[in-house]
Amino acid sequence: MQGNHPIGDSRRAKAVRRAAAPLAVTVAAALMLAACGGAKKQSGDAQGDGGTLVVDTSFSLKTADPGRTFEPTGILVTRPVYDTLLTFAGGDVTKPVPLLAASYEAAPDAKTFTFPLRPEAKFSDGTPVTAKDVVFSFNRVKNLKGNPAFLLDGVTASAKDEHTVVLTTEAADPALPFRIATPALGVVNSKTVAAHGGTDAPGADQGDKAEQFLNSDSQGSGPYRITKYDVSSEVILTRNDNYWGAKPKYAKVVVRNVPANTQQLNVLSGESQISLDMSPDQAVKVKGQAQVLQQPTPTTAFLFSNDNPATSPTTSNKDFQEAVRYGLDYKSLLDVAGAGSAQAAGIVPSFFTGALDPAKAVQRDVPRAKAALARAGLNNPSVDLYYASDVTINGINFGDLGARVQANLKEVGITINLKPAPTQTALDSYRNGSEAMGLWWWQADYPDASDYLAFTPGELVALRAGWKADANAEVSGLAQRAKVATSDAERVQLYKQLQEAMNKTGPFMPLLQPAQVIAANNTVKNLHYNPIWYIDVDKLG
C-alpha cells in the first residue's frame, strides 16, 4: 500500500530534514582547523588500507532486518550487508545488473524471469547461497506485510534447482528487475534465520521472531556485516572476510546519527569522512575544502489543483489549471531549492528510464496564463494552498516554496492563501482529498517510471487530487499500455507520451527535483551518488 509512512508520500519512508542553519562561528572554527593542518585523521583512512570510514547522516532508521526496512538510513546500511539478485552500477539506475545472479533472462511476455545464481556466492558464515535462500527471503518479505512487501505484489518465487531462481508474475511486469534491486529484497541465510525464529510462511507478520536477532547478527552475503546497531546513535559495519566478491577497502564503516550543521564541521575537521545531509547553502561553505556532489534527487516536488468540482469549482476548472501551469515561474522556484536542483520536466525523475527530455518541460508563459484565466470566467479567484509547515526536504522549506508560488500566481491574477499546518494535519487533509490546492513531494520507491503511475486517473495520488478514473481517457489508456509494455523502447516512448499528455491537462504541476548534497573528505576515492541508497560504501577507496 502506498503512502503509509506518517510523514511521506510514497511507500518508501522519508528522511525529513529539519531546518538546521549552520553557525558562523562553527564554520569559521572548522575552516581554521583545516587551514592549520589540525584535522583529525581516522586510522588508515587516507589510503583506504583497512582503516575506518565514518559517514554522518540524520537517521531515518527502524530495523536492520532487510525484510522490514524501507527507511533511507536502513537502505544505506543494509545494501552492503545483504546482496540482492540484481543491483545498479554506480549512479546509473537505468539498467539493473547482476549481483547474486550471474545473469537473468526475461520471457518475451515479461511474466517469467530466470536467475542462475553465482556458484561462488557465500553468506558471512561461509555457507553457499542457494535458490532456497532466495525463495525463503522473498516469501518472508511478502508475508511480513511490511513496507517493502508491495515490491513483490503478484510475484511467485520458486527454485528451479539448487542454483536457479524463477520469478513468475500474474501479469506482464517489465519493472520487476528494477524492484528486486532494492536492498529490502536482500537475500538472508534461510537456515540460520529460521533457527532464530524467522519464517516465510503465511502469518509471518505475526509469527516471525527473527528481527531482534537480525538487529544484532546480520545474515547476508554482502561485503560487510553489521556488528553494532543502535537506531539512535550509530551502526557499525565490519568487513566480511568470507565475501565472495572484491573485498572492500575499509575494514570498518561507522554510520553516525549527526545533525546537518555538525556534519559540516566534522567533514572539514576530519572527524568524519562523509556527510549526507548538508543543504546547498552549507555546501557553498565547504567547497574547496572537501569534495562536494550536488545532484538532483529522485524526489519530485509538485503542486496540484484539485480536479473534483465538489471540492473546489475553481481549481477543477481546466482553464484555471492551465493558468496555474503557465503562471508558475519554474526558474524562480529553483532559486528556493538551491544549487544542484533541477526543474522536473515531468513527474518521473530526470535520470529514470522514461523521463522526459528537459526541453519538454513547461515554461512560464504569463500571457497564456492570463488568457486561460479569462476563459475560465473567474473574477479574481482566491484559493487556499495547503502544505506541511514543519519539515524541510533536502534543504527546502515548503513555506518558502509556497510563498514563491503565491508570488508567481499573483502576477497572473490568482490570489493564493497560504495554509501551513503541522505535518500530520496537512497529511490528513491531503490524503482525504479535501485540499483545493496542495504542495507536496513524492520520493521514488524504486527507480522505474512505473512507480509514478500512482499519479494517473483513479490511482492513489490522483484520487487525492480529485482526478477520478474516468477523468481522462487518453492518459488512462497510455498508463495501461505503459504498465505492461515489454519492449524497452516501447516503455520509454509510452512513459514520455504519458507525461506529455499529463503536462497538457490534468491537475498536477511537477515543479522540481531538490538537490542531494554529499560532502566528503578529500581522502575518499571513487565517490558516486546513487539515487536509492546514497553511496556504495564498499566501492570507496
Are residues 351 and 296 in contact, defined by beta-carbon separation less than 8 angstroms? yes
Candidate from 93-107, 387-401, 430-444 with smallest mean pLDDT: 387-401
Residue 120 has pLDDT above 70, yes or no: yes
Do 24-294+517-539 and 299-513 have matching folds? Answer: no
Instruction: List, in order, residues 6 or more apart from 101 with CB less than 8 Å away.
Output: 85, 86, 115, 116, 117, 118, 165
Q: What is the dihedral of CA 420, 425, 428, 429, to 10 degrees?
A: -40
Q: With the CA atoms of 401, 403, 408 and 409 taken in that order, what torsion angle do they form, in degrees rounded to the nearest 10?
A: 110
| Separation between Cα atoms, residue 233 and residue 173, nearest integer Å | 40
pLDDT value of residue 85:
98
Q: Is the CATH code 3.10.105.10 the one for domain 299-513?
A: yes
Q: What is the pLDDT of residue 21?
A: 32
Give the confidence band of 281 by pLDDT, cuts at 50, 70, 90.
confident
**pLDDT computed for residue 293 by the predictor:** 95
**Phi/psi of residue 216, nearest 5 degrees:** -120, -15
What does the pLDDT average to over 349-361? 95
Cα–Cα distance measured from residue 79 to residue 248, given in angstroms and rounded to the nearest whole number = 13
> What per-residue confidence (pLDDT) applies to 394?
87
How far from 255 is each of 160, 214, 230, 510, 525, CA to CA, in Å?
39, 17, 10, 33, 18
First to last CA, the chain: 39
Contacts of 54 (CB under 8 A, 6+ apart): 42, 253, 254, 256, 266, 271, 272, 273, 274
pLDDT of residue 241: 93
pLDDT tens for each residue of 205-231: 999 999 999 999 999 999 999 999 999
pLDDT at 41: 44
| β-pairing verdict for 155-161 and 164-169 | antiparallel
Percent of the chain with pLDDT over 90: 87
pLDDT at residue 495 tops 80: yes
d(CA 420, CA 399): 7
E strand or H helix that includes residue 169 = strand 164-169
d(CA 293, CA 436): 37
pLDDT beyond 80 at 415: yes
This prediction's pTM: 0.89
Residue 49 clears pLDDT 80, i.e. is over it: no
* pLDDT of amino acid 9: 63
The confidence band for 22, taking pLDDT boundaries of 50, 70 and 90, is very low
| Domain edges within the chain | 24-294+517-539, 299-513
pLDDT band at 458 (very low <50, low <70, confident <90, very high): very high
Q: Quick one: pLDDT at residue 391? A: 83
Cell of 432: 482525504
The pLDDT score that the predictor gives to residue 39 is: 37
Per-residue DSSP letter, 287: B
Ranges of H-type helices in 154-303: 176-179, 190-195, 204-207, 211-216, 260-269, 280-286
Write out pLDDT tens, residues 153-190.
999 999 999 999 999 999 999 999 999 999 999 999 99
Q: How far is CA 39 from CA 32, 171, 262, 277, 282, in A?
A: 10, 57, 15, 21, 19
Domain 24-294+517-539 bears CATH identifier 3.30.70.640: no
Is the confidence at residue 34, as pLDDT, over 60?
Answer: no
462, 470 in Cβ contact below 8 A?
A: no
Averaged pLDDT of the chain: 91
Residue entry with cell 557465500: 122
Residue spans of alpha helices (H) in 440-472 = 460-464
At residue 40 the predicted structure's pLDDT band, cuts being 50, 70 and 90, is very low
Amino acid (one-letter) located at 36: C
User: Taking a C-beta distance cutoff of 8 angstroms, is the pair 351, 513 a contact?
Assistant: no
Three-state SS for 300? strand
What pLDDT, on a 0 to 100 scale, did the predictor assign at position 5? 34
